[in-house]
Amino acid sequence: MLRAGLRISALRDVHLGKYDIIVIGGGVTGLAVAYDLALRGLKPVLLERNDIMSGTSGKYHGLLHSGARYAVNDPEAAYECAVENKIIKEIAGHCVEDTGGYFVLLDEEEYYDDFKRGCKENQIPVKDVDVGEALREEPNLNPNVKAIVEVQDAVLYAYKFAVSLGLAAKMNGADVRIYSEVIGLLREGKHVVGVKVLDKINNRVYDEKAEITIVAAGPWSGKIMNMANIQNVKMVLTAGTMAVVPYRLSKKVINKMRVPSDGDIVVPYGNNSIVGTTAYVIDDPDNYTIPPEDAEFLMEEGSAIFPVIRKIGFSRMYSSIRPLISMNEEIDTRKISRRYEIYDHEELHNVEGLLTVIGGKFTTARAMAETISDVVCKKLGVKKVCKTKETKLPNPIEMLNVEQLRTKGYPESLIKRLLEKKGTIDEELLMNTLYVLIASSLW
Ligand SMILES: Cc1cc2nc3c(=O)[nH]c(=O)nc-3n(C[C@H](O)[C@H](O)[C@H](O)COP(=O)(O)OP(=O)(O)OC[C@H]3O[C@@H](n4cnc5c(N)ncnc54)[C@H](O)[C@@H]3O)c2cc1C
């Protein structure tokens, strides 16, 4: 039996490399996995082909789900979200704006009872709200709303959360390498013993070895699995478009109370409001464009919630891809579950040393990391339990290590000037700049 915290590879006959685990993908899932493993005393390295959060995670809708959206159609995902909603608010308070949310009934009145029942069955707290009072709270809401139910939705700031996870991973011994693209898997018979990496900064190719390689590459996971000739994991790549209103329309996250569909949600994200989303199946995550009709569609759906959107307009649009997993050959993208899956390719495909974590939500990334890290620990004989549930993530701004920034070559004057903006009218803008500097000093 291995002592937890002991380097695994040092105990094998063949010296595999500097790391116990390679994590492919620097989205929220990969970062959460690297952090969880490092917190258990293992030594992971995360490889990201571009900057962190350059995939789906950096272009999501911004919603820390309460679970209510999935309460009727996707109860397991709903329950997972409800549990994680509480945990993320607790461990990453500095990344969350605990706005609360309203589900507003505009049409589909028959859905109201199903919605309330679904929330109750999945232990999702809800509260009926007086429409008049809610309209005073949220004066931009459509005055024709028929009923309003309050839920515990919140806003989760993507980059803050990512930098906090990355910092926590690094503080616990993980390495994060950006612009490091996995271009092949290293095999010894049926065992994946590492990866071939293209270092895009220095334009060189090298091998990195480890006991276990984890695919956390979101919509690109199929491409990595193909490198091991694994083709039978049925992913339905579903792109979704979001539109940015350059104005904060509400205090709370607003969801239409109806069977989950396109254009249901408006999230107040800082000073903007994000209207979304659409859903259309694509073939290649590296080659797709936003359909031109999405702008008018989101205008139509968004202004049904906030009529004033028609006057303000959109400042920009962006899109990203859900790596959904289709069980039972389901192809209706709103019917495919938002649950996540862990694939142990040894059991499923006779390929050892390779695991994949896929699906899920931004909201459930911590839970996904916990589940796959449990599998890794079991495989490696490491008896360390997950501690991410109860361990608060570091707040990068509070942990700011000016010395570290200095050694990265940032001029003293720049660091000082940014820090001095605390308490000024532009604090938010410049603290965000600081996040980028902190991230660049970490990886
Ligand atoms: C339109 C839309 C809106 C959404 N809104 C919400 C929401 O409001 N709330 C919520 O909880 N969830 C939301 N989701 C779901 C959530 O965004 C995703 O579940 C989550 O971001 C997936 O994260 P990930 O890390 O698995 O994938 P990604 O963020 O895509 O990360 C994968 C990473 O792998 C990297 N990579 C790919 N190939 C390689 C390679 N060969 N070598 C190295 N690196 C590689 C990519 O560059 C990428 O950075 C939304 C999804 C979509 C599509």
Q: What are phi and psi of 104, to 5 degrees?
A: -110, 130
Bridge partners of 416, per DSSP, are none
**Span 214-229, average pLDDT:** 96
Q: Which residue has the tokens 């993507």?
A: 158
pLDDT at residue 420 is higher than 50: yes
Higher-scoring residue by pLDDT: 325, 147: 147
pLDDT at residue 386 is higher than 60: yes
Residue to mutate, 60, 196, 266, ligand 1, most ligand atoms under 8 Å from C-beta? 60
Please state the atom number of ligand 1 nearest to the C-alpha of residue 358: 26
Span from the CA of 218 to the centroid of ligand 1 (angstroms): 5
Span from the CA of 338 to the centroid of ligand 1 (angstroms): 13
Cis before 356 (ω within 30): no
Neighbours of 390 (CB within 10 A): 9
The answer to whether the beta carbons of residues 77 and 338 sit under 8 Å apart is: yes
The answer to whether the beta carbons of residues 300 and 256 sit under 8 Å apart is: no
pLDDT at residue 2 is higher than 60: no
Bridge partners of 245, per DSSP, are 273
- Residues 6 or more apart from 108 whose CB is under 8 A from it? 257, 258, 259
Its pTM stands at 0.93
> What gap in Å lies between CA 410 and CA 362, rounded to an integer?
32
Structural domains for the chain: 9-55+159-233+338-380 (3.50.50.60), 63-156+235-325 (3.30.9.10), 402-442 (no CATH)
Higher-scoring residue by pLDDT: 132, 231: 132
pLDDT at residue 258 is higher than 90: yes
**Span 163-192, average pLDDT:** 96
Residue to mutate, 28, 56, 298, ligand 1, most ligand atoms under 8 Å from C-beta? 56
With both helix axes pointing from N to C terminus, report the angle between 427-442 and 412-419 in degrees, rounded to the nearest 10: 140
Please name the residue whose Cα sits nearest to atom 35 of ligand 1: 25
